[in-house]
Amino acid sequence: MEKELIERKELLKRLCQNSSNGNFGDVMIVGGGISGIQAALDLGTAGFKVYFIEKSPTVGGKMAHLDKTFPTNDCSMCIESPKFVECKRHPNIEMITYAEVEKVRGEKGDFTVTVVKKPRYVDENKCTGCTVCVEYCPAQYPDPFNQGISNNKAIHIYFAQAIPLVTYIDDSCLYLKEGKCQICSSVCKNDAIDFSQTPEYIDIKVGAIIVSPGIEPFDARLIKEYRYGEFVNVVTAFDYERLLCATGPYEGEILRASDKKHPHNIAWIHCVGSRQVIEGANSYCSSVCCTYTQKQVILTKDHDADARCTVFHNDIRSFGKDFERFYQRAENLPGVRFIRSYVSIVREDPVTKNIFIRYSTPEGEVREEEFDMVVLSVGLAPPADVKKFADAFGIELNEHGFCKTNPFNPLETTRPGIFVSGAFLNPMDIPESVFTASGSGSLCGELLSYRRGKLSKERVYPPERDVSQEEPRIGVYVCHCGANIGRIVNVPETVEYAKTLPNVVHAEENLFICSTEAAAMLAKDIKERGLNRVIVAACTPRTHEPLFRDTLREAGINQYYYEMSNVREHCSWVHSKEKEAATEKAKDLIRMSVARAHHLEPLQEFDLPVNKVAVVIGGGIGGMTSALSIANQGHEVHLVEKEKELGGKARNLHYTLEGLDVQRYLSELKNKVYSHPLIHIYTNADIPETTGYVGNFTTKIVSDKGIKEIKHGAAVIAIGADVYKPNEYLYGEDDRVMTHLELEEKISNRDEKVITAKTVVMIQCVGSRNEERNYCSRICCSESIKNALKLKEVNPDMDIYILFRDMRTYGFKEDYYREAADKGVRFIRYELEDKPLVAPGESEDGRHVLKVTATDYILGKKIELDADIIALAAAIIPAEASQEVSKKFKVALGPDGFFQEAHVKLRPVDFAAEGVYLCGIAHYPKLIPETISQAYGAAGRALTLLSNDTVVASGSVCTVDEKMCMGCGACAPACTYNAIELKDTRMGKKASVVPVLCKGCGLCNSKCPTGAIQLKHYTDKEIFSQILAGLYKDTEYASGKTIII
Amino acid sequence: MSSESKFRPKMLGIICNWCCYGGADLCGVSRFQYPTYIRLIRVMCSGRVDMKHILFAFLNGADGIFVGGCHINDCHYNPEGNYDALSMYNFCKKLLEHVGINPKRLRLEWVSAGEGIRFANIMNEFSREIEELGPLGRIEGLDENELKTRLKNIIKLVPYFKLVKMKELAIHNPDEEVYKKLYTSEDIDRLIKEAPSYYIDPKRCQACMTCARRCPASAIISEKNKIHIIDQDKCIRCGTCYDACPPKFGAVTKIVGAPVPPPIPDDQRTIIRKTG
């Protein structure tokens, strides 16, 4: 141990000495999709220097190509792109785009990675993203961002929100192909075009690596029968995603390629390239296609309410959180049909280019139907060059070409020190990609904990000058944005106008105010001209406000003295044909900003101290894994379990579908937890009280150890879930009827009755997917397959029937489903309205059996099975303690009673209440490997908080003028953050705001009758002054005058 | 038509940062065009928009006001502020109707950050509507002074509205139809008719300053040994004084449906107390 410590110190010393010549980092993340982005942000924030490599010209990955995300139909780009900016600005993230990894040498803790940067032919440091070159470029080629449906130029920005927001030149460039043109070079005002660029090789030293190369949509051309590429109105779901999107090839119009007309009768075909054991296809289930199809159906109906949508499907696999309701929503839309049938695409009408599909009806007849457009719900496949990729890293792939992982730790690759996240693990949706990223981040943290904070940088700002007593001295900067603003708005005129406005002491124009150079000039102006308010009239504050606020901080004045006029998105771009009117509007917008600037106040962001201790609630696999990962990174953890021993539900599990010995795994995990010096375990424990907020909680624990009060900065909720106790199918009345957990126990105990049973019948969806519990319990199908295979293993002659509604063996579990079918397990589908019946009876050979009657839809008649054992796939239901725990930690429960994460896609292990994290089946039913990944994810997220000494909260919060408060209580209920308290004072009840809990929405402000409560930075005064200056042209209204009523 | 003779409305939009502002940005990115006379103001949440802001804008000559938020259930904030905006908006429409302003001059829409085209469509449609309605007051048949007087009177009642409609203004119901029925014209008329005024009975006031200290609007003219007077221009009719006045004096009276008596002249305000 000591020797290891000395070695590490040596290494660290060496690293720190060499770090001056660059190329030294802690972690390298390869793959810039949403998973890589999350990992980079988590690790950067947790004190590691991150190299972030992406092979395409921008980060964003597949998520950036999607129109919306299920099941909330959030705009995909809108929720993802703020993360791009966050990465770009992060002091600890070094982003290298348009680059690939060629070779990884060394070992964990000390890797040397060779990265090849492809030539962009554009100097990233000079290009401002003004896109003048794009306008002039004569070469058009199919736009990869729009699936090649529309064209783009040879020089272009990959998409509007790209980071870095610079152009690159594609190989369709005339100069690169034929050596002529170079128009771009001549129009670029910044001399950013550089055709002399060649591939650049960079060696980078890091301690750990995360690979997150993601997936590619299955290439539908590989299966000729689908006629993709042949029939022009057959598109893939990825094509369709772009068609739906407002930034897509037809600006959000769904058009057919053949005649550019709206299709009104569209068919989707499921499982294209998935669940198929044929040449070119993949045998696994791609997990996401059922639900993305439903999303596309819903969005199609949004576009065209009269559209007819037909989905040809196999099993509908709505196994994720809220997916079942989403499925029902799609199914219940008028004009939408879900048809369970295999199909074939028969022909194309030579004139109308409509497509004919042949399918079988539930009644068994074969029918042919005509559609305007056919969408192939293509599956997810490993990246095309996955073999080369794996070789570069020296990691192994599994039989499907995805990453091979350690069965005991689903986030470890076969090479120590290289971790994996995202869909390279197995086909998965966005939230899983996000939490596996946080999880891999946590594993890197465990490995490199000793060097945390050594290479990372913290921004240091000069002390702030107090200008609150000074007269406003406003500086106005109007940006040309290349030609984006300047070509429409007469910028010099607006500058002259700004100079006439009250308290404006300086105004000037700039070609690119966002350039590093201009920022330095701005900072100099603030100091030398004594500016105390700065207005930039340029683009949108949503992307650029943080940049300029930062500049104000650099220049030593409060960042809330910054104000922005959006004269690009809200002016020059939307009024491009009315130059004069646009110039007038720009002046108005500047006047409004000047008026507002008069009222701006310096606001302090809060630096809340962070207590470095964590509390983990729940001692199952999730809780223990999380606790260990946090403790391994040097933080004290209090692990609270309500039972008398650790283990949770896993205590009743013996093996997994993949063959993991659960009891062995569990006892090893328990040993690690018990022997860890930083983990304190409380059994038979209860939490009577929790108070506080992010970084500063106080939790009372009553346990075997007595009563203890713990101060902690973070909490992880991992309280698990319960199994539904069935009251149907004679459960509890006949001991031959049991749940799968009970069956598993008996199998592992070699229970005679079970082992020697002639016939076992398994019934799925017991207590799930019904009115009372309108969700799928996700794991039961896999459990049934697991137990069926185990029974076949011990007794190959056993007859096993699985009565199911939809088999939901998603991902690679599909292979086990197939194996079970191959081994003679029989699958019989039933409908919710026609459930199987169970009654005691006698078989033909005189056995006392349980008679199971069901309708066989394939045979079209009733069948009767003689069961010796019946196993029920009982629902997973929320833990009894959920309500209580949710109230104590002020976190929400979803409609089904499981804990509700902060954002279903992008914050899957966070809560809206900061400092509290979530993992395991308390979130939603999930299998052990998924729980382990999510537990590491929760630990990773907790570390982004715990590894910092302080946490920053926005200064734009509400405040109460007590004199004006009449104690009516309108404000407090409006705040579900519980940030407002009503206190009894000598002058009656008065509201007061706990600033650290306030999130700055201002709902209370608009409820307050007297205006006593005000949201800082958006006060009534500020808004009134903008309204007035917006309505009156007189410059005097720019003095910020208001009439307070 | 020459540009001079064409009516160019004055229009403001108050929109939320997370969705509608994003939609307006994307509208720009996509180069969708809309009329130049709309000016946008950014707030963090549509639930921050106060009925005062809207009435105040109309008072100062706005011809149309737009409020934009996230789609229902998409609100960036936990408290789902767009429900609050929806309730406030429906209330405001009824107020405008009461004042005699065409409620079409106020419009609320949900626009996600991905709906640039929807933002443009709404802007174009709304501005066309306002152009057709003409300048504020014209189609309503109200002259400017009359309109301003009416608006001023309504604005003075905003604190009172917020107090009595506290529950309704905070209602959260996923069914947007509910909000349309939440407030009726009769409801508003009655509410305004029943708006109370407060008056200090000079015979009872003991000049104890209790009400004055508690008044959130600093509307009570008071000093020791001088009968207090409520400045009716400043009074927000919250009734705090009514509750605060010690019961043994019972000097503050609530007046509904009748004019408030004039304040007593200053030279009669001094209270002569018996000494000894």
Helix/strand/coil (H/E/C) assignment for every residue in A167-217:
CEECCCCHHHHHCCCCHHHHHCCCCCECCCCCCEEEEEEECEEEECCCCEE
What band does A245 get if pLDDT is binned at 50, 70 and 90? confident
> Are residues A208 and A253 both part of a single domain?
no
Looking at the fold, whether B139 and B220 belong to one and the same domain comes out as no
Q: Distance of CA A857 to CAs A184, A363, B101, Å?
A: 65, 9, 64
Which chain B residues have a beta carbon less than 8 Å from that of A1028?
60
| Partner-chain contact B62 A1031, CB within 8 Å | yes
Task: Indicate if B213 and B244 belong to the same structural domain.
Answer: yes
Q: Is residue B273 part of a domain?
A: no
Indicate whether A661 belongs to any domain: yes
Q: What is the pLDDT of residue A12?
A: 64
B262 plus B156 within the same structural domain: no
User: Mutating which of A588, A1027, A1033 best tests the B interface, going by the most B Cβ atoms within 10 A?
Assistant: A1027
Which of residues A951, A983, A1011 is at a domain's end?
A951
pLDDT of residue A11: 66
Residue A101 maps to which CATH number?
3.50.50.60
- Both A741 and A765 in one domain: the answer is yes
Query: How does the average pLDDT of chain B come out, rounded?
Result: 92
Q: Please determine, for residue A982, whether its predicted confidence score (pLDDT) is greater than 50.
A: yes
Residues of chain B contacting residue A1029, judged by C-beta atoms under 8 Å apart = none
DSSP A239-261: HHHHHHSTTSTTTT----TTTS-
Last residue of a domain, one of B158, B191, B224: B191
B5 occurs within a structural domain:
no
Q: Residues with Cβ < 8 Å from A585, sequence gap 6 or more?
A: A567, A571, A575, B36, B37, B39
Beta bridge partners of B65: B12, B106
**Sign of torsion, CA A481 A486 A488 A491?**
positive
Nearest CA distance, A258 vs chain B (angstrom)? 24
Average pLDDT over residues A240-250: 90
Exposed/middle/buried for residue A334 (C-beta within 10 Å: 0-12, 13-18, 19+): exposed
**Residue B110 forms part of a structural domain:** yes
Q: Is residue A467 part of a domain?
A: no
Q: Are A491 and A589 in contact (CB under 8 A)?
A: no
Do A1007 and A937 belong together in one domain?
no
Within a domain: A468: no
d(CA A1016, CA A1026): 15
- Nearest-by-CA chain A residue for B8: A581
* Cβ within 8 Å, pair B48-A970: no
Q: How many structural domains comprise chain A? A: 7
A787 in any annotated domain = yes
Could you give the angle at the alpha carbon of B94 between the alpha carbons of B93 and B99, nearest 5°? Answer: 95
Tokens at A649, concatenated: 């539900």
CB contact under 8 A, B29 and A569: yes
For residue B166, give the nearest of A75, A970, A1012 by CB distance. Answer: A970
Q: Which residues of B touch A963 (CB under 8 A)?
A: 216, 218
* Stretch A401-412: mean pLDDT: 94
d(CA A813, CA A927): 11
Mean pLDDT of chain A: 93
pLDDT at B2: 43
% of chain A with per-residue pLDDT over 70: 98
Minimum mean pLDDT range among A12-21, A727-736, B251-260: A12-21
Mean pLDDT score, A501-516: 87
Question: Does A861 share its domain with A993?
Answer: no
**Are residues B139 and B246 both part of a single domain?**
no
Domain termination site, one of A322, A356, A381: A381
Are B70 and B143 within one domain? yes
Q: Among B191, B209, B228, where does a domain finish?
A: B191
In angstroms, the Cα distances linking B55 to A122, A1037, B195 are 53, 18, 18
With 90 as the cut, is the pLDDT of residue B134 above it? Answer: yes
Under the banding of pLDDT at 50, 70 and 90, the label for residue A18 is low
State whether B54 and B82 are in the same domain.
Answer: yes
Looking at the fold, whether A94 and A28 belong to one and the same domain comes out as yes
Residues B233 and B175 in one domain: no
Phi and psi torsions of A267, nearest 5°:
-115, 145
Are residues A708 and A737 located together in one domain of the fold? no
Assess whether pLDDT exceeds 90 at residue A22.
Answer: no
Among B146, B174, B191, the domain boundary falls at: B191
Kindly state whether residues B66 and B202 are assigned to the same domain: no
Across A447-455, average pLDDT: 94
Residue A192 maps to a domain: yes
Contact B60 A1031 (CB under 8 A): yes
What are the phi and psi torsion angles at B64 (to 5°)? Answer: -160, 140
Residues A792 and A866 in one domain: yes
- For residue B181, is it within any domain? yes
- State whether B12 and A577 contact (CB < 8 Å): no
Residue A1045 within any structural domain of the chain: no
Based on its alpha-carbon atoms, the radius of gyration of chain B, rounded to whole angstroms, reads 23
Q: Cβ contact (<8 Å) for A585 and B74?
A: no
Contact B8, B32 (CB under 8 A): no
Residues A205, A182 within the same domain: no
Q: Which residues constitute the domain of residue A868?
A: 723-877
- Do B185 and B225 fall into the same domain? no
The residue segments making up the domain with residue B37 are 11-191
Does residue B4 fall inside a structural domain?
no
The answer on pLDDT for B275 being more than 80 is: no
Residue A606 domain-assigned (yes or no): no
Examine the domain organization and report whether A679 and A728 are in the same domain.
Answer: no
pLDDT at A282: 97
What's the CATH code of the domain at B179?
A: 3.40.50
| pLDDT of amino acid B1 | 41
Q: Give the pLDDT confidence score for residue A992 in this predicted structure.
A: 95
How confident is the model at residue A550, as a pLDDT?
A: 85
pLDDT band at residue A728 using 50, 70 and 90 as cut-offs: very high
Which residues in chain B are contacts of A597 at CB distance < 8 A? none
Which CATH number does the domain housing residue B235 bear? 3.30.70.20
Whether B77 contacts A1001, CB under 8 Å: yes
| Residue B60, domain member (yes or no) | yes
Residues A902 and A828 in one domain: no
* Rg value, chain A, Cα: 31
Whether A573 sits inside 8 A of B114 (CB atoms) is: no
Return the minimum-mean-pLDDT range out of A36-45, A235-244, A476-485: A476-485
| Test the B interface: residue of A1023, A1025, A1033, A1037 with most B CBs within 10 Å | A1023
Shortest distance, CA B230 to any CA of chain A (angstroms): 16
CB contact under 8 A, B44 and A1020: no
Average pLDDT over residues B128-149: 94
Q: Is there a single domain that holds both residue B180 and residue B213?
A: no
- Judged by CB atoms closer than 8 Å, whether chains meet at A585 and B159 is answered as no
Domain membership of residue B3 (yes or no) is no
Q: Is B42 helix (H, G, I), strand (E, B) or coil?
A: strand
Q: Per-residue pLDDT tens for A947-972?
A: 999 988 889 999 999 999 999 999 99
Pairing status of strand A93-97 against strand A151-153: unpaired
What stretch of H or E contains B124? helix B116-133
**How many domains would you assign to chain B?**
2
Residue count of chain B? 276
Q: Is A998 helix (H, G, I), strand (E, B) or coil?
A: coil
- Assess whether A183 and A262 both reside in one domain: no
Q: Quick one: DSSP state of residue A465?
A: P
Same domain, B210 and B260: yes
- For residue A54 the two structure tokens come to 């992406």
Least confident span in A71-80, A361-370, A542-551, A587-596: A71-80
Q: How far is CA A915 from CA A43, A616, A911, B104, in A?
A: 17, 12, 8, 45
Tell me, yes or no, whether A288 lies in a domain.
yes
Q: Of A414, A417, A415, A412, whose CA–CA distance to A436 is shortest? A: A412
State the average pLDDT over residues A69-92. 81
Residue B58 lies in a domain: yes
Tens-place pLDDT, residues A778-823: 999 999 999 999 999 999 999 999 999 999 999 999 999 999 999 9
Q: Which tens digit of pLDDT belongs to each residue from A180-225? A: 999 999 999 889 999 999 999 999 999 999 999 999 999 999 999 9
pLDDT over threshold 50, residue A1044: no
Cα B106 from chain centre: 13
Minimal Cα distance from A903: which residue of B?
B76
Nearest-angstrom CA–CA distance, A872 and A738:
6
Given A381, A404, A439, the domain boundary residue is A381
Task: Mutation target for A interface from B166, B211, B218, B220: give the one with most A CBs within 10 A.
Answer: B166
The per-residue DSSP string of B103-119 comes to: GGGEEEEE--TT-HHHH
CATH number of the domain enclosing A999: 3.30.70.20
- B23 lies in the same domain as B65: yes
Same domain, A751 and A868: yes
Query: Residue range A619-636: average pLDDT?
Result: 98
A1015 contact residues in B (CB cutoff 8 A): 44, 48
